[in-house]
Structure 1
Amino acid sequence: MVPKLIIVTGGVLSGVGKGVVVASIGRILRAREISVNAIKIDPYINVDAGTMNPYAHGEVFVTYDGGETDLDLGHYERFLDVELSKKNNITSGQIYLSVIEKERRGEYLGQTVQLIPHVTDEIKRRIIEASGGYDVTLVEIGGTVGDYEQLPFLEAVRQLRLELGDDVIFIHVALVPFLKTTGEFKTKPLQHSVAELRRYGIQPDAVVVRSEKPIDANSVKKIALFAHVPPHAIFNSYDVDTIYRVPLILEQQGMGDFLVKRLRLASKEPDHKKWEEFISKLTSPRYKVSVGMCGKYVELPDAYLSIIEALKHAGATLDTKPELVWINSVEVEKNPDMLYKLNIDAMVVLPGFGKRGTEGMIECVKYARVEKIPFLGICFGMQLAVVEFARNVLGLREANSTELDPETPHPVVHLAPEQREVNVMGGSMILGDREVEIMPNTLAASIYNTSVTTERHRHRYEVNLSYLPKLIEAGLVVSGWRKDVRRVEIIELPRHPYFIATQFHPEFKSRPTRPRPVFLGLLKAALENR
């Protein structure tokens, strides 16, 4: 089956919400029972996002098959309610590595290997491969038109339009700023980015204008004239109270009808009822709870984007707004007493790597345990919860993770056995889906209401099983085990309103209308325990 492709490009500047627009278009099509897939192209030379600093690129989103990808894939999964593969994130690093490996194997024997056709052919091959089996595939090209690193991808999609004809359309997303000094929208940046796109042989079929507020008719007229796009194909994604409202805004402007007609799609009447109900609960909650978010990257909430969204999903289900209180663990190290002034209803100790700020995170665990504050620890947060318990309940004062102190006399957390011979950084952690067996008569069993769950992982370190008998004797409960090998996946504490921590990352499988149990349980406990 020839795939139908919607290629989305961006102009003027990055970070204006192109990924949300792509996800919203996907949601609009899904509401018509059209099967939709989405691909994110990142032009950087890294093979994947796994080795990047969160300050540079936000969170690393993990796919079911172990891909370490751009955070936009999280938006796609949440809006489209699908599970995407590592194949859905294409980088320049992957493309060049593949081409060079083929050259070394002799697959291009006798040829001069060049950007065109060899690199562009590899890009096209990967897009087509990842598009198989879907009615429509959205392809977001990261960055902005005019970036040098983006050029091979623009050339590749230009060729796809030539080869696949009307089954490929282009949508350009660009900012139209509102100049307060003159009280008018300025369309020139968008005009110039479309002109740059044309220079590479691509004429957009539609334009999505990003703006602070709805643009006026005069601006639409200007854009239509200079971008050579009819007014009915100009859409406006303006700032709203929640990103989940964007599909409804674009739908109201006719985006769905435009795409169905332009791509000749078999479509049912759109049904956004459940989505609308979710937004209503999300934006007009009856209750509020204060959730402490303890971590080391709190200056950049995008580092924890999926956790933030997972809390919103759980909150909407409970008619409750989780008000996030960001707690810098480095500051807690300097002044642990600051925690007692926050007046929080729940505590989340967040994922992370490295030693900086970890003693502050341990203090946050201790505060939640001692003060009976509903608590959730995720991945690194679970490991530090074990360290805190070993130190302050079991009495092993120097207990630690070997990641943080290789010489600790009590390594209650240590490197997983299969990680000991690993000598490369990228793509080498315990990654992707693993089955987790949940123990009966535990908090985990009561919130999951099942004996087995599948969850996504991203870690190297784990609880040291040799310390487990002592930890259990002191009151720690292991309520979840990895099914394929004996590894601790969930811990909890009895005689506490809600104290649970997971080695896996539950946030990656949270959906707007299907929140994950540990987040739902946390907010329920916070409401009841206030």
Structure 2
Amino acid sequence: MSKYIFVTGGVVSSLGKGITAASLGHLLKARGYSVTMQKMDPYLNVDPGTMSPFQHGEVFVTDDGHEGDLDLGHYERFIDESLTRASNFTQGSIYKTLIARERRGDFLGGTVQVIPHVTEAIKERLRRVGEQTQADIVIVEIGGTIGDIEGQPFIEAARQFRKELGMGNSVFVHCTLVPYISAAHEVKTKPTQHSVKELRSMGVQPDFIVCRSDHEVSEKVRAKIALFCDVAPEDVLECSDAPSIYDVPLGLHEQHFDEAVLARLNLEAKPINLAPLQAFLDAKNSCSSMVKVAVVGKYVSLPDAYLSVIEALGHAGVANGVNVDVQLVDGETVNEQNVRDILGDANGILIPGGFGQRAFEGKICAAHFARENNIPFLGICLGMQAAVCEFARHVAGMPGATSTEFDEEAAYPVIDLMPEQEDVEDKGGTMRLGAYPCTVAPDTRAFEAYGENVIYERHRHRFEVNNAFRPALVEAGLVISGQSPDGRLVEMIEVPGHPWYVGSQGHPEFKSRPTRPHPLFVGFVSASKENAGA
């Protein structure tokens, strides 16, 4: 049976409990245990798929087509395992399932309540991920903060689940803020004390407390927290801000966190292998030159909206021995008159995915500028579609070419709705989602990068290159470097004779790892490095 680790957060959100959970996962896997991870989100949306990136950051897509929380990206990057739809669920999905069962009469006329029905449904999801993966250890992050009214059923379910598992089969880790008060020149423990008090009032005593702070949390301060929160001093850990999120596992390991957790779970502390992570960090720290990459998007005021793209660029930078300076550019501000002023110093231009017309013309300007000035370019999802529209307009003689997503009466709808999407009315979970195969054409940049004839990328889109215009685009010089095995869908495009101009309908950023950077990003950053003369 799987052992379970529950990670909760206190005081404020965005503490980095996802990074803490993922770091612990990395350490336990490095000790030879099979590890999987799960995120429980207390909000009432069924999933984050219909939420604005401004609200929730990016939507991370799994191989099996689940639209999930961005923390799933951290999990996959840290434990280097592909997760599934069982790895993330919301309170909304729990209620949706329960109400559907109630309408069918499954409860035989009984009253449906939070306890036991909601909590039992949550525990079923906990059991399911362990049974499906057969992992030695399941790490479960409970979203939100302790005290949130919507989070109470999750804490109660975890409390019940711990009791059912029995002694030595579960651990609770509480991640909490230890703020530094500049006027007093000291960090304060009272918020942590209150957070743990709230957690204990719900029947959960944490086994470990991880102190998040932008200042050192001294041994004396940790001893005080231990005294007031009824944990051993050695089980209060410091997790102050690090140069990189990938430094966090090493910092926790130095405090013997993984060993202590395994002891609580009655598991052997096998020899640990942190060499791959250390090699990545050593390579990262040895990067000296800089490459500027402009990411032309529409959600740039919240960098988390492009979290996996930014991380993938960082991974590829290390692989190429350079630091990548990611410059987020609002596509709404870009036009033909100012594009050189805004993008002229970029060594590479990347257009990420997105939805809606806002900023699309600016993205087309960016693609045009990159193509005409031989600046390495990578277009992802809508970014690829912008590149196709730009090529159609300025090379293939199709003025105003665009997508029917924005203009259903366009004279040249080079991007059109996928036929299977025509009768879809619901927005949530109905796109083309998950991993799909792509046949890569030989003698292309894509094949040079992948080195394989058939690859798989994760998708999240409703629109595609319109096959009615495909012959004209190819005749004008556009290279279809990747397509679905049946030849029906354009998956990748290129512009020949360019240092690097590639578009992917899939989202390669979701599969990039620190120690296994994605080949498309590696190729793109390599070309950008050459362009910079770095």
Shorter-normalised TM-score: what interval? Answer: over 0.9
**Deviations, residues 141-197 of structure 1 (Å, cap 9, x unaligned):** 000001000011111001011111221111100000011111111000000000000
Q: Which amino acid aligns with 1:14?
A: S
Q: Give the secondary structure class of the aligned counterpart of 1:50.
A: helix
1:221 to 2:218 alignment: no
Deviation at 1:214, TM superposition (A): 2.1
Taking the aligned partners of 1:423 and 1:451, their CA distance within structure 2 comes to 36
Q: Which amino acid aligns with 1:110?
A: G
The farther-off stretch of 99-108 and 113-122 is 99-108
Tell me the equivalent position of 2:148.
147
**Deviations, residues 83-142 of structure 1 (Å, cap 9, x unaligned):** 000111110011111111111222210321111111100000011101220000011000
Deviation at 1:450, TM superposition (A): 0.6
* Unaligned segments of structure 2, at least 5 residues: none
1:67 to 2:69 alignment: no
Taking the aligned partners of 1:90 and 1:398, their CA distance within structure 2 comes to 42
Q: Which amino acid aligns with 1:142?
A: G
TM-score normalised per structure 1: 0.98
Conserved? CA contact 1:332–1:338, under 8 Å: no
User: 1:134-283 counterparts in 2 under 5 A?
Assistant: 134-166=135-167, 167-283=169-285
Taking the aligned partners of 2:218 and 2:163, their CA distance within structure 1 comes to 35
Taking the aligned partners of 1:46 and 1:146, their CA distance within structure 2 comes to 20
Tell me the equivalent position of 1:38.
37
Taking the aligned partners of 1:148 and 1:73, their CA distance within structure 2 comes to 24
User: 1:56-455 counterparts in 2 under 5 A?
Assistant: 56-132=55-131, 133-166=134-167, 167-333=169-335, 335-339=337-341, 342-455=344-457
* Unaligned segments of structure 1, at least 5 residues: none
Tell me the equivalent position of 1:497.
499
Conserved? CA contact 2:259–2:269, under 8 Å: no
Conserved? CA contact 1:11–1:144, under 8 Å: yes
TM-score normalised per structure 2: 0.97
Deviation at 1:334, TM superposition (A): 8.1
Taking the aligned partners of 1:482 and 1:337, their CA distance within structure 2 comes to 34
The farther-off stretch of 215-224 and 117-126 is 215-224
Deviation at 1:267, TM superposition (A): 4.0
Tell me the equivalent position of 1:53.
52
Taking the aligned partners of 2:50 and 2:105, their CA distance within structure 1 comes to 30
Taking the aligned partners of 1:347 and 1:64, their CA distance within structure 2 comes to 27
Q: Give the secondary structure class of the aligned counterpart of 1:120.
A: helix
C-alpha RMSD over aligned residues: 1.1
Conserved? CA contact 2:336–2:365, under 8 Å: no
Q: Which amino acid aligns with 2:338?
A: P
Deviation at 1:61, TM superposition (A): 0.2
After the TM superposition, list the runs of 4 or more consecutive aligned residues in structure 1 that deviate by more than 6 angstroms.
none
Taking the aligned partners of 1:384 and 1:260, their CA distance within structure 2 comes to 50
Taking the aligned partners of 2:464 and 2:448, their CA distance within structure 1 comes to 24
Q: How many residues align?
A: 529
Q: Which amino acid aligns with 1:269?
A: P
The farther-off stretch of 467-476 and 283-292 is 283-292
Q: Give the secondary structure class of the aligned counterpart of 1:418.
A: helix
Conserved? CA contact 1:50–1:427, under 8 Å: yes
Deviation at 1:336, TM superposition (A): 3.0
**Deviations, residues 339-378 of structure 1 (Å, cap 9, x unaligned):** 4664111000111110111111100000000000000000
Q: Give the secondary structure class of the aligned counterpart of 2:64.
A: coil
**Deviations, residues 230-287 of structure 1 (Å, cap 9, x unaligned):** 0111111110110000000000001011011110124421110110110122233032
Taking the aligned partners of 1:464 and 1:11, their CA distance within structure 2 comes to 50
Deviation at 1:337, TM superposition (A): 3.5
Taking the aligned partners of 1:35 and 1:236, their CA distance within structure 2 comes to 26
Taking the aligned partners of 2:361 and 2:389, their CA distance within structure 1 comes to 10
Taking the aligned partners of 2:231 and 2:336, their CA distance within structure 1 comes to 57
**Deviations, residues 273-308 of structure 1 (Å, cap 9, x unaligned):** 110110122233032211011011111110000010
Deviation at 1:442, TM superposition (A): 1.2
Conserved? CA contact 1:39–1:139, under 8 Å: yes
Q: Give the secondary structure class of the aligned counterpart of 1:126.
A: helix
**Deviations, residues 202-252 of structure 1 (Å, cap 9, x unaligned):** 000110000112211221111001110101111111101100000000000
Deviation at 1:440, TM superposition (A): 1.0
Taking the aligned partners of 2:295 and 2:357, their CA distance within structure 1 comes to 18
Conserved? CA contact 1:333–1:357, under 8 Å: no
**1:107/1:341 CA distance change after superposition, 3 Å:** closer
Taking the aligned partners of 1:426 and 1:486, their CA distance within structure 2 comes to 25
Q: Which amino acid aligns with 1:399?
A: A
**Deviations, residues 449-468 of structure 1 (Å, cap 9, x unaligned):** 11010110000000001101
Conserved? CA contact 1:298–1:327, under 8 Å: yes
Conserved? CA contact 1:336–1:363, under 8 Å: no
**1:117/1:83 CA distance change after superposition, 3 Å:** same
Conserved? CA contact 1:401–1:412, under 8 Å: yes
Q: Which amino acid aligns with 2:448?
A: S
**1:484/1:85 CA distance change after superposition, 3 Å:** farther
Taking the aligned partners of 2:170 and 2:528, their CA distance within structure 1 comes to 49
Taking the aligned partners of 1:215 and 1:250, their CA distance within structure 2 comes to 13
1:457 to 2:486 alignment: no
**1:21/1:427 CA distance change after superposition, 3 Å:** same
